[in-house]
Every structure is written in structure tokens, then in C-alpha cells.
Structure 1
Amino acid sequence: MLLEIEDLTLLYGRIQALHGISLHVNEGEVVALIGANGAGKTTTMRAISGLRPVASGKIIFGGRDVTKMRADLRVALGIGQAPEGRGVFPGMTVQDNLEMGAYTRRDKPGITQDLAMVYDLFPRLKERQRQAGGTLSGGEQQMLAVGRAMMTRPKLLLLDEPSMGLAPMLIQQIFEIITRINEQGTTVLLVEQNAQQALSRAHRGYVLETGSIVKEGSGQDLLHDPAVKEAYLGVA
């Protein structure tokens, strides 16, 4: 088991955002976390990456308790994240943005190799490598955010709403790339409002409602679950 979350609670001031959630991600899986706005999906991601302190519970990564570990040390251990809203550095070139992803690394040959891998995954970024990140389209910025996270050489890639605000054709493309990344050996935890795409490509999934996990199962089982279809897929 690569990631294990045990009975995690998290507070925003006096508001309890997560109510004792437990989930796990096995090595080599794509796991989807779906739910409505405000369900606690992004909060869960921030807890895993160390951007939000937790009130109680445990986060175990690669057999190691990282619950209180600093965010940058978690990156060095192998947790990479493409955050909600992309968060590219607008004044820096595409290449500089990607190289920022490798800031914890010292292996220059490996960084060069991974840069080539990212440009292979995202040919559009190679075409725009000298262009400022802030001048890219929304889809290109999303590619850049995922590419930058891949430059950390993650064992676990956290993707927070990768399809948000994208045209349908680009959404399809982003999900095909996520599948490729997984097939190349990276484990993926995916937060996504596009439940259809996420569950179609996930090995397993969890449904989060108001800070609690209410369902879990294989991607296909959740995709065909009547309650999930009605709530998240727009099918009664």
C-alpha cells in the first residue's frame, strides 16, 4: 500500500471540514475521489501534500508516518501535486516552470531525462517552451501544472480538478495523458468533478459528501451505481 489515510479530521477554524475519513491507494493504481463542491476533496489533497495541518488521524506514505512532516519533505519523498487552479508561475517561461518542479532534486541527468519525458507527453509545451506561463491557454496551463508535478518524479501524483474549465476535447486529452502517466508507472490520486471521465479511468473510487466518505468501490461499480449516477452523472 502506497498511501493510507486513517480516521483523518481537519478543521478550518471551528468548522470541521473532514470527519474521520479513511482511504488507501495501492501502488500502480488510479484512484478517483469524487463529490460535489465543498465536499472536502481539495481539503483532503492539501492534507496529503502537507499544505493543511490535520486535527487528528494519520497519513502513512510508503510505510512512513508523514502526518506532521513539512510539505517540501513530502515532495522529496515522492508526493507530487498539480493543484486546483493550476498555479503556474505566470512570468516564468514554460521551461522554467517545469524546472521549478525539480527544485528538490540534484540529479541533472535525471532532470534532463524527465524534461524530455514531459515534452513527449505534452508536445504543445515543447512548442511553447520559451513562452511565459501566463500567456498560455487554460488547457496548456493545465498541461504545464501536470508536467511540473511530474518533474518531482513522484511515486504518487495528486491531481486536483485537472479538467476544470477545459473544453470537452481537451478534457478527453488530459484524461488520456493521465492514463499514460499511470501506465508508465506513476500512481495517481485524482480529485475530479467530471465523475464520468474520472471513474471510467480509475481502478477504484471514493465518494465524499460533506467531509465524510459515503461510498467506495471499483471505478466501474461506482460508474454504474444508481445513486452515483443520479447525483454525479446526471442520470436518474
Structure 2
Amino acid sequence: MALLELNNMSVHYGRIQALTGVSLHVEQGEIVSLIGANGAGKSTTMRAISGVRPLSGGTIRFDGEDITKLRADLRVVRGICQSPEGRGVFPGMTVLENLEMGCYTRKDKAAIAQDFERVFELFPRLAERKSQVGGTMSGGEQQMVAIGRALMARPRVLLLDEPSMGLAPQFIQQIFRIIREINEQGTTVLLVEQNAQQALSRAHRGYVLETGRIVKEGTGAELLADPSIKEAYLGVA
């Protein structure tokens, strides 16, 4: 049984159909990458999983339970947490306050303290800047805050939406290395990413989304070797 399963999922924005019959699954312990061009429906897929975008068809199952109509906040409690596209850092709050927002559903103070330590081990730069306000940080630092905040909810599946967008090359390498480390520590990851090379080289499996439909799936290595994907996403003819 998959940890997360989308079955024939469709989403509309008014009369516009953004997703058509999307089916994918994420197994416990995997990194699964969802790649596609701008406007393919990647972020809509993430919003639907998080519960902030209603489905017009299909179902979402998490750990065997149908959560299609479950409220977004209750999905966080179940263990689905997202680091959104654009990072969504609270600009007037400090790093520490931003991280605290990630654990608002939790009461286990000892475990929360352990998770703060974990985040600061993953992101030593945040440990140095606990009292700095989010709005004064670089894009890469804000991405660290956003991922750290999601981890503070202790997710069973971490949804990462375009974590490398707008980042300098050195930050991109660092963020993807940390994503691998988070996964090795036991967190399942669903990664939406335009940087297909980085995403697929770290993924156990991947899916390709085009104009709201899944058109290919396979292991990360299979998709990286696919000539049509090389041409469309990796700039290799």
C-alpha cells in the first residue's frame, strides 16, 4: 500500500481544467520527483494534495485513508506538510518564530526541542541567524527557513514545491544535498521541480506532467536517460 496515492485526480479553476486524470503514488521512504514545464500543473498538484485546492474529480489517499475532503489543517496533523513555491516566509518574523509556526499543531515539547536541533544541524546558517527577520534574508536562506518550518511539523511526507527556484548555483547544490539527507533520515519526499537534472538524479522514481496530464513515469535513472526528456528538459538533443 502506497503512503500517498492520487487516483484519476482532476482540478478546475473555474472553467479551465488544470489537471486531468492525474494518478501517481509515493511509497514510504521514497523521493519522487514531478517534473514539467511552467504551467504544466505541478503546483496545482501540490495544492490539491495539501488540501488548499479542491478536486473536481478523483481521490487522494494517505496511508490507506481517503482524505479527498479532509481540511488542509487536518492533513498537516496527519503528516502531510508543504514547503510552498515562493517559500512563503513570514517577512516580519524572526527565523525562530518562522520555525515555531511549523509546530503549532504539536504539544510534545521534548520532541519539538529535538526537531529544532535537527533543523539547526541540517541548516547551520539558520542556527547562526535565529533572531534575524525573514524578510532580510537571501532567497537561499529563506528556502532553508521554509523547509525547516515544514520539518517542524514532523511530516511523514514532505511536499517540496520548486525548492531551487531563483537560487544561486551554490545554494541549489546545498538544498538538494539536504533534501537527500532529510530522506535518508526517514522522511518521504514528493518534489516538484523545474530543474529536471537535479530532481531526477536524486529521485527513486519520477513522473512527467504536461498540460495537466501525466505522460511518463519511471525510475529517476530511466527518465534521465529518456531521449525525449533529455531534449525537452535537459537541453540535450
TM-score interval, normalised by the smaller of the two chains:
over 0.9
Name the counterpart of 2:192: 191
Question: After superposition, what is the alpha-carbon deviation per residue over 1:65-102, rounded to whole angstroms, capped at 9, x for unaligned?
Answer: 10000000000000010000000000011001001000
SS at match of 2:105: coil
Question: After superposition, what is the alpha-carbon deviation per residue over 1:89-136, rounded to whole angstroms, capped at 9, x for unaligned?
Answer: 000110010010001101111111100100000000000000101111
Question: After superposition, what is the alpha-carbon deviation per residue over 1:153-207, rounded to whole angstroms, capped at 9, x for unaligned?
Answer: 0000000000000011110000000000000000000000000000000000000
Name the counterpart of 1:132: 133
Could you tell me how far apart the structure 2 residues matched to 1:227 and 1:63 are? 35
* TM-score of the superposed pair, with normalisation by structure 2: 0.99
Name the counterpart of 2:11: 10
Letter in 2 for 1:218: T
RMSD (Å) for aligned C-alpha atoms = 0.4
Alignment of 1:98-177 (within 5 A): 98-177=99-178
How many residues are treated as equivalent by the alignment? 236
* TM-score of the superposed pair, with normalisation by structure 1: 1.00
Letter in 1 for 2:17: Q
Name the counterpart of 1:51: 52
Letter in 1 for 2:203: A
SS at match of 2:113: helix
Could you tell me how far apart the structure 2 residues matched to 1:214 and 1:98 are? 37
SS at match of 2:160: strand
SS at match of 1:193: coil
Name the counterpart of 1:208: 209
Q: Which runs of 5+ in 1 are unaligned?
A: none
Q: Which runs of 5+ in 2 are unaligned?
A: none
Name the counterpart of 1:81: 82
Identical pairs, percent: 73
Could you tell me how far apart the structure 1 residues matched to 2:104 and 2:225 are? 42
Alignment of 1:18-97 (within 5 A): 18-97=19-98
Could you tell me how far apart the structure 2 residues matched to 1:191 and 1:58 are? 20
